[in-house]
Structure formats: C-alpha cells, structure tokens
Chains A and B, each alone.
Chain A
Amino acid sequence: MRRWPRPGDIALIAALLLPLAVALPRLGGPGGPPEMWLTWVGKVSGILGLAMMLLAGAVSCRVPGFDRPFGGLARLWHLHHWLGFAAFILVMLHALALGLAAVPASLDAAVATLFPPLSHGALWLGWLAWAAMVIFLAPTFDFFGKPHYQRWKRLHLVSAAALLLGLGHALLLAGEAWPWWLLGIAGLGAIAWRKGVAPSRRHPYRVEEVVPLARGVVELVLRPEGSGIRHEAGQFVYLSPLDERLAAGRGEEHPYTIASSPADAHLRIGIKDLGDASHALQTVTPETRVLVEGPYGKFFGRRFPERDMLWLGGGIGITPFVGGARDLASGAAREGHVQLIYLAHDSSRAYYRQELEAIAGRVEGFTFTRHYSRERGRLDEAFLREHCPDFTEREIYLCGPSAMNAHLQRLLAEQGVPASRIHSEVFDFL
C-alpha cells in the first residue's frame, strides 16, 4: 500500500501543479499586508482545488490497465478519494480567503466579493460548482448517514456538473486558459468514458456452474462468450449479472476477485454473501449472462522479487491466493518459495482448503498451512515462528476481513517487518 511515489503518482503531481506553475509568475509570492497574502492564498487554493477536482475525475476513468502505474485500482481509488476531499476543503478555503481579503477594505466589499450582483455570472458559476460538490460529496463523506450504494453512485454523477461549472468559473476568471482546458478535458473525458463508452465494452460471459463452497459462499464458473479478458493472478473484475430472476443487483456492477488461474479458459469467482447483491448471486441461474469489466489491480505486484513470499488469507480474502495457487498448479514460474497460511474460524469455514492442500502436495516450493482461530485463538507470533520461521524476511501479502488485516499489520509491524514489504488491496469501498 505504501511505498511511493510510483510513476503514476509523479504524473499526477505534475498535472496537479501545472495550472499553479503557469499562474505563479502572475501571482508572485505570498507576503505583504494581510489582504495581499489572503488574496494569494485564495487564488492558490482555488487553482489547486480545481486541479484536484478535475484530476479526481480523470483518475476515475477505470480503464483496465490505467490503474497499474498507480499500484492498482484500490490505491487509485484511495487517491481519487483524497483528491476529492482535498479539493472540497481547498475550494472552501479559496472562497473564504478571497472574501476575508476584502474585509480590510470594508465589510460591504467582503460580502460583495463573495456575493456580487447576479450579473457577475462567472463568480456565481463558482458557487454553483460548490453547491454541486456538496450534493455529490455529502453522501460520500456521510454528512447525513450512509447512503445506499447505488443511490450514492447516481448522486456521484453530479460531479460532472461540478467539474463543468468549476471549469467555466476558472476559464472566465483565470488569466491562463490552456492548463484548464487540458485538465478539464482529462476530467470530463474520463467521466464520459466511464459512463458513455465503457459500459458497451464489457465482456459477456455465461454462468456455467454455481459451486457451493460453504454456507453463504459460492464459486461462479464463467464461460466467455467472446474472447474474454486476460488477467494476472490476484486481479479483480467488476461483475454485472443480467439474470432476470435475481432478487437484487441485476445489472449493477460490483467488484469481485478472480480465483482462477490466468491459464484457465473459465473465469472463476468466489462470492461471499456480504450484501444484497452478493446474497442474490448465491442463487444466480446457470446459463444466464453476466458482463465482466476488467481486470484491475496489481495484488501480486513484486517489490522484492528476490525474497520468498508469505500469503496470509482469511475468509473470502482467500480468493486471490486461490488464484495464485491455481496459477502455480498450472505451471506458472514463480521465483522462490511461497507459503500460504489460511486463517479460518474452523474447518467448516475453510473453503477451498482441500484444493489448496492438493496443490501444495503437487507443487514444489508451495506450502499450505491452516490456522483455525476456534482452536488456537488469533494468529500470533508463535504460530508464525513455528510454521514460517523466516516470515520477517519474506514479502508478505494480506487479504481478509478488515479486523484480520489490521491485526496482522500490527503483528507484523511489531516484528519489524517494514510496511513496504506488506501488500494488501482493500476494495471494500469500491
């Protein structure tokens, strides 16, 4: 998760600073009496805020592959989230600073700066952009409680209006237009791609089989209708089932990890009953169609290829490791040794266990260990030392419920494993 900057980050920062760099010669430096530096702060925060807003839009394009220079889609969504948050704060700082900058002149001037006559349309475009931001960000930041996922998603489209209005505000008032055209096209183009083009480019698959793994967990076996997607082990896709008999989530897209090997002609996806849509999928009708978009993510991206790997999976978080193990079973070359520790409550919840044990028996360099919390309590250092004595030297991959993730992160940090050697992709908010 950590370890940055990555190539994508550097490009993002460059794009973020571009409008400011172009405007700075005109703005000069901060300093002088309060009204001067407040004006400077107001302008700089406005420029950065809008740039962040447009770039938050740009990185939301979700073009398969685009996420990789950023370390995977999960991390890219984190960047998107933080960009949006910072933009929201900066935009308000922008307005307040410019308003306060006029206070030394007079209170009337301050109010008239913020709320001029309606004929000053360019300024009111800025207010409308802010209002649009409040509309689509209020549910994102849970201003009024957690909204329903699909409603949140629809409301988030108001961001396109916010970008357009903000762009108009800047083009009419800012001195230089070309950086704004550039970022504006990137931001709005991304939204147009996401909502306009991308849906028609999803890959159709048929549900060939629904394999029950445990109570509330199934594996969907999907057969491509066309060429299908090409993926790496540990990546994930967005899946939209089209089965008309589904009780919920028909046509909605949700992210699921691929559990099959890249060499497999079928796409296998482990699905746990965690919400309305995934609950409905437990009984999806075979031979109905699903649409698949992806792949995304970079779960098994190596940072220290010379090191052995330790995989720690729990609950439905075992799926990327199932994909990885199946990849090994299908003959994929992997440098060094891999040890998978499966954290489950007990054997009834350790789905995929038999298959994983079988692979461990066949594949040299792959060891499988199970840990049942019902018998041994939470995973501790002693267990790790016993079964994987060199765990502090390995590159470690985590996937599981957030409590497990947090526990393991803490445990590993205490044992001196640097954060850069721990991988995890959490996409619970995607």
Chain B
Amino acid sequence: MNINKIAYSTFIAFVASLATLVSIQALSSSDRDAADDDALDSVTLDELAEHDGAESCWKAIHGRVYDITDYVPDHPTDEEVILEWCGRESTEGWDNKRPGVPHSARAEAMLEEYLIGRLVDDDGEPLEPEAAARAEEGDEAGDADGEPARLSPAEDERLHRALLGLPLDGHYRGVFIDRGVIQVNITFDLEDGRFTRLDYRHLAYRDDDYLAMEEDDELYPVMRQHRQILERLEGQPVTAIFALYEPERLADDIDGYSGATLRGAKIISSIRDALNRGVYSWP
C-alpha cells in the first residue's frame, strides 16, 4: 500500500466518521424544551446566594441552577476563579472562559450533570440571565425588590446619616500601625449605627502574633482580653469605643493581666481608622 492510498483511505475514513457522528446525532437528538424546565425545582436568587462558597457552590447559568460543589476541585483553573461566581448568576463567566471565548460544548454537557433546578424570581416566574444579573446588582445597592434605585432625598436614610457626619451602615475594615508595622487590623459591620460581627484580622505586638497563640501560651490571656472587648462592643453604638480609654471597663482582669497590658487606645484607633476610610463594602 503506497502513501497515496493511505492518504486517500484516511481521508475517506475521516469524512465517513464525521458523517456517521453527525447523522447519529441528528437521528437521536433530544432538544431541551420548556417542559423539561417545568419539571425542575425552582430556585430563587436568595436561595442561590446561600450557596456561595467551596463548601456548597451553586451557580445560575442561562436560567438553570447547577450545584458544582463536587466539580470545583477538578476545574482546570485556580479555585478562586471558579469560586468567585458561586451563589450568583454566572452566565457571563460561563460565556467568557477567556474574554470572548465561551466554554466548550463538552464542558456544557458536563455541566448538565450538575443540574439541580431553574432560576425563578420571587413570583416563581423563570428568570432570564440578564434580569437576574440586574436583580443581583440591585440587591447590592440595597434594593432587592426592583424598585427604582434613586430614592427621594426626603426618605433616603443613608443620605441623612452622611449629611450629619454619622457613619453609614455597612462593612468596615481598619488598622492601627505603629513604626511601620500593623498591630491591629479590625473588621466590623454597622447595623442601625451599632456594631456587629466584630473581629480581628490581625493582632500582634513586636514578634507576638496573638491570633496564632495556643491556650498554654504565656500571653494567651491578653488575647482573650482583646476578644472580650469585641464581644462586649457587639450590639453597642459606635460611641461605645470611647469606653476603651479605660479598657478595664470592657475586659476582665485575666490571670493578673490588666489594663496596663491592654492597649485599648490601639483598638479605638483602628476602629476610627475604619470609620474614616468609610464603608469597605455594602452588606
């Protein structure tokens, strides 16, 4: 068999294989139709939003909801890239694997294995990707009901607080830095002007990283005192921070450590830094 015959035979075999594949597909094709969708469970944007992390990751793509939690570790790109879209309307990410490049047909077929429902609005009507994305954006602006985003100056609470110089409700982050080194990095939310979800992102002095300490550590009680402070600020109005000028008002004397060790002023400073910076992200 010479090279020409091999080339010709391979060419014919190739064309025949493609023709077979296409004809079998054409003869057995099953289109996705509306009836299929009706049989699926309904998922609202709020339900979707609850599954927004690696432990449970749901995504809405082209009006359908997929639970891809099990697939996340197998995805070829960095986990962050795929986790970014968890709990959200993700059609845009799906259609732009790289800018302008959608996922492959094979990926699409694999996705169908993770189908769990269809995306609906609060009235149970199917939600198209664009409408869903708009609703999500509206949500972030504190406007979940699809009302016009612009409020009257007479009723815009946020505007009122800003005009009076009062801190707005939202998520805050701030730091206390001394001699170029971060000692306190704090995070909290304000709800109705009161502290919630206070936490340290970083707490250190010289070479001691308090957040990394074990219970048998010598300085562990200091860390507990600092935690106590946050627990006691929880639910308090912003003005409560000034009590920290006398930290013993907020923290117990644990194992003989007293206010002298506890630098309340650093916490005041980091909270005021957070307030000065303004809202870090809207809740």
A residues with a Cβ closer than 8 A to B are 35, 81-82, 85, 88-89, 92, 95-96, 99, 101-103, 105-116, 120, 134, 137, 141-143
Contacts and interface: CB of A to CB of B under 8 A. Distances in A.
Interface of B is mostly: helix
B109 A106 contact: yes
B7 interface: yes
A134 B8 CA distance: 10
Nearest to A142: B4
A120 B97 CA distance: 13
Interface string B97-134: 00000101110111010000000000000000000000
Nearest to A137: B7
Given A99-B18, A105-B110, A113 B7 contact: no
Contacts of A102: 104-106, 109
Given A105-B109, A109-B106, A113-B104, A99 B7 contact: no
B25 interface: yes
B154 interface: no
B11 to A, nearest CB: 7
A120 B108 CA distance: 15
Interface residues of B, number: 25
19 contacts: A81-B3, A85-B6, A88-B11, A92-B14, A96-B18, A105-B106, A107-B25, A107-B29, A108-B30, A108-B105, A108-B109, A109-B109, A110-B105, A111-B25, A111-B105, A112-B108, A134-B11, A142-B8, A143-B11
B264 to A, nearest CB: 54
A92 B12 CA distance: 11
Contacts of B106: 35, 101-102, 105, 109-110, 113
A143 B8 contact: yes
B17 interface: yes
A35 B105 CA distance: 13
Contact of B105 (A95, A112, A137, A142): A112
Contacts of B109: 102, 105-106, 108-109
The 3 lowest CB-CB distance pairs between A and B, nearest first, are A105-B109, A112-B105, A109-B109
Contacts of B39: none
Given A114-B18, A141-B7, A142-B8, 14 more contacts: A81-B3, A82-B3, A88-B7, A89-B7, A92-B14, A99-B21, A101-B106, A108-B29, A108-B30, A109-B105, A113-B106, A137-B7, A142-B4, A143-B7
B108 to A, nearest CB: 6
Contacts of B104: 102, 113
B21 A92 contact: no
Contacts of A115: 22
B150 to A, nearest CB: 37
Contacts of A35: 106
A105 B109 CA distance: 5
B24 interface: yes
B17 A96 contact: yes
Nearest to B22: A111
- Interface-centre pick from A82, A99, A107, A112 (highest chain B CB count, 10 A): A107
B10 interface: yes
Contacts of A120: 102
B165 to A, nearest CB: 53
A311 B108 CA distance: 67
- Interface-centre pick from B3, B30, B106, B112 (highest chain A CB count, 10 A): B106
Contacts of B8: 141-143
A103 B24 CA distance: 11
Contacts, number: 76
B25 A108 contact: yes
B239 interface: no
Interface string B77-108: 00000000000000000000000001011101
A95 B21 CA distance: 12
B28 A116 contact: no
Nearest to A111: B25
A4 B22 CA distance: 44
A82 B2 CA distance: 12
Interface in B1-47: 3-4, 6-8, 10-11, 14, 17-18, 21-22, 24-25, 28-30
Contacts of A101: 106
B14 A141 contact: no
A111 B21 contact: yes
B25 A110 contact: yes
A95 B18 CA distance: 9
A175 to B, nearest CB: 10
A110 B29 contact: no
A114 B4 CA distance: 26
Nearest to A133: B11
Given A92-B14, A99-B18, A134-B11, A113 B3 contact: no
A107 B28 contact: yes
A303 to B, nearest CB: 27
A142 B106 CA distance: 37
A110 B29 CA distance: 12
A368 B24 CA distance: 70
A85 B3 contact: yes
Contacts of B112: 106
A114 B11 contact: no
A45 B146 CA distance: 52
A424 to B, nearest CB: 19
Nearest to B105: A112
A103 B105 CA distance: 11
A110 B21 contact: yes
A35 B104 CA distance: 14
Contacts of A88: 7, 10-11
A96 B22 CA distance: 12
B112 to A, nearest CB: 8
A67 to B, nearest CB: 21
Given A96-B17, A113-B106, A107 B24 contact: yes
A92 B25 CA distance: 20
B94 to A, nearest CB: 15
Contacts of A110: 21, 25, 105-106
Contacts of A107: 21, 24-25, 28-29
A89 B25 contact: no
